[in-house]
Amino acid sequence: TLYPSVDGSEFTVTNTGSVYETGTWSYSPGTDDPGVRYWAAKASNGFNLFWEVDAALTASGAACDSAGDVYNLDCLNAAQVLTSGTFSTGGPALSHITFYDTEIIPIPAAAWLFGSALGLLGWARRKST
């Protein structure tokens, strides 16, 4: 596994609704454990994705202004590493909750990987003809 030190005992999920449609979670990571930046609460056929950002980013015209589209790259990249949070399924009882530690991929690194892939495809095509 990617994080062998994580066995699930680091997480506590608490019901604050009648049937786990809302709740809280807490995380006590060990020294080698990843940080939590995003979490998804799954119920029935849907899920809700959660993350938190600095309050300044929610101001009018900022990356995470709730009047606009908060599902944008700048807002998602601003997600903070947390050890606790809340969730809501929007109705049905919680089926499961998933935690993510996704890190930002710098644009130069992504461009280099993309360019390398294109180069390899071109080389493979040239070699096959």
Q: Of all residues in the chain, what percent carry a pLDDT higher than 90?
A: 46
SS3 88: strand
Q: What pLDDT was estimated at residue 6?
A: 92
pLDDT at 66: 77
Q: What is the spatial distance between Cα 60 and Cα 71, in angstroms, rounded to a whole number?
A: 16
Residue closest to 47 by CA, chosen among 108, 1, 103, 92? 92
pLDDT for residue 105: 57
Rounded (to 5) percent helix, strand, coil in the chain: 25, 25, 50
The confidence score (pLDDT) of residue 88 equals 95
pLDDT in the model for residue 111: 67
Cβ proximity of 52 and 118 under 8 Å: no
Spatial CA neighbour of 51 closest among 72, 32, 34: 72
Residues of the chain with pLDDT under 50: none
